[in-house]
Amino acid sequence: LICCDLFWKIKMFSGPLEIKTCLCGRDCLHAGDTCSSDDTCSPRLRTLRQCVAGDGSMKLGPGARSQCENAMTALLSTPLHGCQCKRGMKREKNCLSIYWSLHQSVLHGLSLVESYPYEPEERGSDYVRLASIAAATESEVTTVNRCLDAAKACNIDETCQKLRTEYVSACIQPSARSGPCNRPKCNKALRKFFDRVPPDYTHELLFCPCTDTACAERRRQTIVPSCSYEEKDKPNCLVQLRDCKQDYVCRSRWAQFQYDCEASEHSASGCKRENHGSCLLAYTGLIGSTITPNYLDNSTSNVGPWCSCAASGNHREQCNDFLAFFHDNICL
């Protein structure tokens, strides 16, 4: 407790200096449980959760607002401040609901430290090494279909093979109610695959380099887009994003993606945080969500969600910014 207390104090007063891990670190679920069993903390958390009920856009009267701010300020000196969640963890949604209680826009001014919902993943690092080895040999082996090799590699790994079979069968199964497939079931299985299988496999499958359309078509088909991606019509991107933000998991995946894939022209990798591996990881975190991205065709490596900015009215700029995060992002 002393360690955590000290950690949060440092984190609160260190400004832009980033301290990423705490040896006694707790996720929001644990922090929430600890808080709930504390007579001082518990009512404050309850108050705060009422303040941000719904999507947090509720207009608060001046009295309620100050009550909310007091609760928030008090909670900043508990382990709740700075708590995060693990992607794919048990009760992920509950964990994220606590995270967002402290990060809702209504009380935005009080959030002192730049934050993102998910704990950094250690397991992202190996892929970066593998990818750089792969890049070096890429030009020499143009006849080899790396996407095919990745599929073979996945078949040899027990978890990869099992969860890939699971999502493929979930995504191609016809559904009596909703027609050619059961999209929610397909999405759930896709999320399980990308949350549980090590990126060594998933990233090789999804980001394999291609020089011909056969390879690129195979790569585009990885997520069974006919079920998980395409629809008859293209919805407006901002409508899609709004739906995403109403779900704690989707909202968090999107927030994480924005954080990890923030581009910078001044960095060697193109990524502001110089961590291309975690950007790719955040990208796969979006698969199976409302804003699932995929390759747009089989002749380029362009990716984006299945949506359009055509009918955006006076929100066009905002809509284009959303799409640009996929289409023109040097980090991604």
Interface positions with ligand NAG (CB under 6 A): 213-214, 217, 298
CB of 232 to ligand NAG, least distance (A): 16
Other C-beta atoms closer than 10 Å to the C-beta of 172 total 14
Beta bridge partners of 330: none
Q: In angstroms, what CA-CA distances link 230 with 84, 159, 180, 225, 290?
A: 32, 27, 12, 6, 12
Residue 121 or 217 with smaller CB distance to ligand NAG: 217
271 CB contacts (<8 Å, ≥6 apart)?
260, 261, 262, 263, 264, 279, 331
CA distance 325 to 291: 12
Q: Which residues, listed in sequence order, are joined to residue 84 by a DSSP beta bridge?
A: 27
Could you tell me if 78 and 41 are in contact, meaning their C-beta atoms sit under 8 angstroms apart?
yes
- Two structure tokens written together for 325: 């995060």
Question: In the complex, what is the shortest distance from the CB of residue 264 to ligand NAG, in angstroms, rounded to a whole number?
Answer: 33
Q: Output 58 or 214, the one with its CB closest to ligand NAG.
A: 214
* Nearest approach, Cβ of residue 308 and ligand NAG (Å): 17
| Closer residue to ligand NAG (CB): 5 or 212 | 212
User: Given the complex with ligand NAG, which of 213 and 302 has the nearer CB atom?
Assistant: 213
Q: Which one, 214 or 310, has the nearer CB to ligand NAG?
A: 214
Q: In whole angstroms, how far apart are CA 332 and each of 123, 164, 264, 280, 327?
A: 18, 24, 11, 7, 9
* 283 closest CA partner among 267, 261, 306: 261
Give the containing element (helix H, strand E) for 130: helix 125-137
* CA atoms 139, 144, 145, 150: torsion sign: negative
**Nearest distance in Å: CB 143, ligand NAG:** 16
CB of residue 282 to ligand NAG, shortest distance in Å: 28
Quote the least distance from Cβ 187 to ligand NAG, whole Å: 23
Nearer to ligand NAG, 298 or 308 (CB): 298
Q: Give the residue closest to ligand NAG by C-beta.
A: 217
User: How far apart are CB 214 and ligand NAG at their closest, in Å?
Assistant: 5
Q: Given the complex with ligand NAG, which of 217 and 247 has the nearer CB atom? A: 217
